[in-house]
Amino acid sequence: MFASVLIANRGEIAVRIARTAARLGMRTIAVYSEADVGALHTRVCDEAVPIGPAPPLESYLAIDRLIDAARRTGAQCVHPGYGFLSENAQFAEACAKAGVVFVGPPPAAIRAMALKDHAKALMERAHVPVVPGYHGGQQTAAFLKRKAYEIGYPVLIKAVAGGGGRGMRRVDKHAEFEEALGAAQREAMAAFGDARVLIEKYVEAPRHVEIQVFADHQGNVIHLGERDCSLQRRHQKVMEEAPAPGMTAALRAEMGAAAVAAARAVGYVGAGTVEFIADGSEGLRSGGFWFMEMNTRLQVEHPVTEAITGLDLVEWQLRIAAGEELPLRQADVSLKGHAVEARIYAEDPARSFLPSSGRIAVFEPPAGEGIRVDTGFASGDAVPADYDPMIAKIIAWAPTRADALARLAAALRDLVVAGPRVNAPFLLMLAEHPEFRAGRFDTGFIDRHLDELLHADPYEEALAIARAVAFLIDRERRRIVEAERQARKSPSHDGWRDPWSEDDGFTLGSARTIVLDILVDGAARQATVTWGAEGAQVAIDGAPPQSAPSLPSPATGGRQRRPASILPSPARWGGSGRGPGESREAHVRIVEAAGGATVVAGGRQIHVALRRLDVLDAYDFGVDGVVRAPMNGKIVATFVEPGQRVQKGARIALMEAMKMEHSLTAPIDGIVTEVAAVAGAQAVEGAVLARIDPERANG
């Protein structure tokens, strides 16, 4: 076994490789760009080496810098992970030239599978079934259009050097072919520097089923079963599972034999994945699958195979790269239970899945029986805008598929991410969709059901906002009361009145209502807070009020213990995927954030801010004469100076935050004793901007 490994990657896969390597006693070496300074993968490794600026071409794709890092650190091998240079034959050759072992297949095998037309021709010679189509070198538009007609519509245009769905177009009509061809060629040229395409028959109701293969230097090749990766959006995998629903032992053996033949045909060594397209219109069946491509690396979804086999595929990669034989023969491979993986991306499904970056204020991964989380981030880490937005993978295992999906759904509900938006609510809806749970799906499932999968339950949203409003008001009240208590200790302060006492004008059984302007994800909304004999209720935008037990009633005399619902706790939630009247337990987390609070529930996060905190002062909540920044923002202007007499409500400063201007006003009558706000400067939430002395106001 190697003594050291340089991991030529970042994020969750770098962390995952490092943990296996460390378990095997290897010295782990991370690399990082300027965007990844202090990232989790650098913290879990024994050593970390900078390799350049944030752009991948100048860091994670810079072969010379990676080879130099390996030489300087004395790394015996380089593990490329997936993505970046993992399928780059030139990088594999550069490693060999530098005397460093590349943990992956030989360069010749990478090249053989790099171009789809060449790979399909090779598979045909190896008697591996391929999708009917044209894979030749003639690339004129007229010729390709004629071939498409001969194949029969619908057809799929695919970039020869493609991947990730780029350079791919489905064409349903002969008249649409030329326009689709031009678009595919332009996209392929921009992405891969190669405009060549191939034409394939489009398989109706396609299922994407892949076989995990392993080969050693001694010529042994086996497969470890299949994974179903049919849940895709824009040709990108979203959720994967193993085994494939509807797979039989006989069909698994047939597909596995085809995958092994494909690996042997290219002299493969190490971990690889042979991807097949299957006709799912009548269920998975013999003769109904065809070779698509081979990925000459570890796959993102490899944990589901690990879950059902009990094997560590990274350990297998390292041992095979070190020259060891495969630890198992085909007859020894057994599959147990079912596993499902969901990819957590920093993206906003509500905004057409736009990537989201920034600092993660809170990251609390789920835990529990059968749950595994692979991630490259922790609370406080930043998600750079320069790379793939995947921040974690949640893998759920159980004895049955139904139980595995139930565990995954529960884990997604318990996931807490505050900061960049994530796709967890979308994944939760997907995991709970009755058609998917019944096994009725193909690669077009998400597109057909997208509106359902993006649906946000109005009741859940209103309840979450109400809880955040209650939290913010309670936070302000407690801050004000604490300031009064501190002022009470001063010899010059007398006449202090507890704003929560029973003498403050509120009586048991009476009701008092205030209306607050709030910001929900930056949009103006309104909250109505009513205190009565039964506690407090919060209504959002005039909707029927929802109980908000986290908000103490002024009639309690301030002696009420802070309710547990302000803290991480379960609450009853409605939502899709259940029958009428049903509910579920959801983990609810309220996190203090810039300008307010972020409430996270069911994987969804909503930012809520009180638009004018000074409105609280108008309802006898108590004041301390200190003007604070209600959120992070820029001071636009100040309107007072020390020694100036002001009345309650007078403008003290103007702040710009969340694309809006916020007027900060005097909470009491008095004399300004300090002005800390400076026009043009940034202010952080809670910073003291000015102080007003009520004593001097009284003479």
Residue 119 lies in a domain: no
Range of the domain at 222: 207-336
* Dihedral class, residue 199 (left if φ above 0, else alpha if ψ from -120 to 50, else beta): beta
Q: How far apart are CA 342 and CA 549, in angstroms?
A: 34
Number of domains, the chain: 6
Predicted confidence (pLDDT) at residue 503 exceeds the cutoff of 50: no
Residue with the larger pLDDT of the pair 292 and 558: 292
pLDDT value of residue 587: 65
Q: 155: which 2 tokens?
A: 């057809």
The pLDDT confidence band at residue 577, using thresholds 50, 70 and 90, is very low
Number of residues assigned to the chain: 699
User: Are both 656 and 634 inside the same structural domain?
Assistant: yes
Residue 264 has pLDDT above 50, yes or no: yes
In this structure, the number of other CB atoms found within 10 A of the CB of residue 448 comes to 12
Which range, of 395-399, 512-516, 532-536, averages the lowest pLDDT?
532-536
**Does residue 416 share a domain with residue 383?**
yes
Same structural domain for residues 351 and 316? Answer: no
d(C-alpha 407, C-alpha 5), whole Å: 35
The CATH number linked to 371 is: 3.30.470.20
pLDDT tens for each residue of 266-301: 999 999 999 999 998 889 999 899 998 899 999 999
Return the structure tokens found at 405: 């999906």
pLDDT in tens, 486-499: 766 666 555 544 44
What integer is the mean pLDDT of 668-679? Answer: 92
Question: C-alpha distances in angstroms, 280 versus 207, 224, 243, 624?
Answer: 6, 22, 15, 69
- 61 part of a folded domain: yes
Structure confidence by residue, pLDDT tens digits, 357-410: 888 989 999 999 999 999 999 999 999 988 989 999 999 999 999 999 999 999
Asked if residue 124 belongs to a domain, the reply is no
Quick one: pLDDT at residue 552?
43
Pair (187, 97) in one structural domain: no
Q: Is residue 354 part of a domain?
A: yes
CA–chain centroid gap for 595, Å, is 23
**Is residue 670 within a helix (H) or strand (E), and if so which, with residue range?**
strand 670-675
Domain shared by 146 and 98, yes or no: no
Share of the chain above pLDDT 70, in %: 85
Among 205-209, 418-422, 503-507, 597-601, the minimum mean pLDDT is found in 503-507
Contact present, 142 and 303 (Cβ < 8 Å): no
Note the Cα 608 to chain centre separation in Å: 21
For 431-443, what is each residue's pLDDT tens digit? 999 999 999 999 9
Whether 428 maps to a domain, the answer reads yes
222, pLDDT greater than 90:
yes
| CA distance readout (Å), 485 to 97, 148, 490, 622 | 72, 81, 9, 11
Number of neighbouring beta carbons within 10 Å of residue 346 = 24
Higher pLDDT, 429 or 132: 429
Left (φ > 0), alpha (ψ -120 to 50) or beta: where does 352 sit? left
Only one residue has tokens 């994407």, namely 208
Q: Which two tokens stand for residue 97?
A: 């030239």
Q: For the segment 448-474, what is each residue's pLDDT rounded down to a tens digit?
A: 999 999 988 888 888 889 989 988 888
Domain identity same for 31 and 48: yes
Among 394, 427, 455, the domain-final residue is 455
In the sheet that 569-573 helps form, which strands lie side by side, from edge to edge? 546-547, 535-540, 523-532, 512-520, 604-610, 596-601, 584-593, 569-573
Q: Lowest-confidence range among 95-99, 200-204, 255-259, 591-595?
A: 591-595
pLDDT bin (cut points 50, 70, 90) of residue 240 is very high
Q: Report if residue 112 sits inside a domain.
A: no
| Catalytic residue (one of 196, 297, 372, 407) | 297
Give which of 396, 159, 113 is closest to 275, Cα–Cα.
113
| Poorest-pLDDT segment among 17-21, 89-93, 600-604, 671-675 | 600-604
Return the CATH number at 190.
Answer: 3.30.1490.20
pLDDT confidence of residue 234: 83
DSSP 571-608: EEE--TTS-TT--EEEEEEEEEETTEEEEEETTEEEEE
Question: What SS3 class is residue 664?
Answer: strand
Instruction: State which of 336, 367, 393 marks the end of a domain.
Output: 336
Q: With contact defined as beta carbons under 8 Å apart, do 391 and 383 qualify? A: yes
Residues 297 and 242 in one domain: yes
Statement: residue 255 has pLDDT above 50? yes
Share of the chain above pLDDT 90, in %: 60
Q: What is the CATH number of the domain that holds 8?
A: 3.40.50.20
Q: Which residue has the higher pLDDT, 118 or 642?
A: 642
**657: CATH:** 2.40.50.100
- Spell out the alpha helix ranges (H) of 359-457: 401-414, 424-432, 434-437, 445-448, 450-453
- The answer on pLDDT for 182 being more than 80 is yes
Strands 47-52 and 27-33 turn out to be parallel
At 511 the pLDDT is 61
Res 655: pLDDT: 83
- The predicted pLDDT at position 565 comes to 26
Assigned domain for 619 exists? no
- Specify the pLDDT at position 352: 84
Closest CA to 344 of 420, 268, 244: 420
pLDDT band of residue 118 (cuts 50, 70, 90) is confident
Give the other-Cβ count within 10 Å of 239's Cβ. 25
Both 605 and 473 in one domain: the answer is yes
297 is catalytic: yes
**Are the beta carbons of 324 and 392 closer than 8 angstroms?**
no
Residue 479 predicted with pLDDT over 80: no
Residue 135 binned pLDDT confidence (cut-offs 50, 70, 90): confident
Q: Which of 186, 201, 216 is the last residue of a domain?
A: 201
> Both 417 and 442 in a single domain?
yes
- Is the same domain home to 66 and 9? yes
- Work out whether the CA dihedral 433, 435, 438, 442 comes out positive or negative: negative
Q: Which one, of 530, 472, 498, 485, lies nearest residue 621 by Cα?
A: 498
Q: Would 655 be classed as within a structural domain? A: yes
Task: Identify the sign of the CA torsion 297, 300, 303, 304.
Answer: negative
What is the amino acid identity at position 355?
Answer: P
Does residue 331 share a domain with residue 228?
Answer: yes
Task: Render pLDDT for 141-180 as a digit per residue (tens, 0 to 9).
Answer: 999 999 999 999 999 999 988 766 778 999 999 999 999 9
**Do both 188 and 211 map to the same domain?**
no
Closest CA to 210 of 291, 106, 156, 121: 291
What Cα–Cα distance (Å) separates residue 260 from each residue in 251, 290, 295, 318?
A: 14, 14, 13, 20
The string of DSSP letters for 108-134 reads: HHHHHHHSHHHHHHHHHHTT--B-SEE
Rounded distance, CA 466 to CA 538, Å?
6
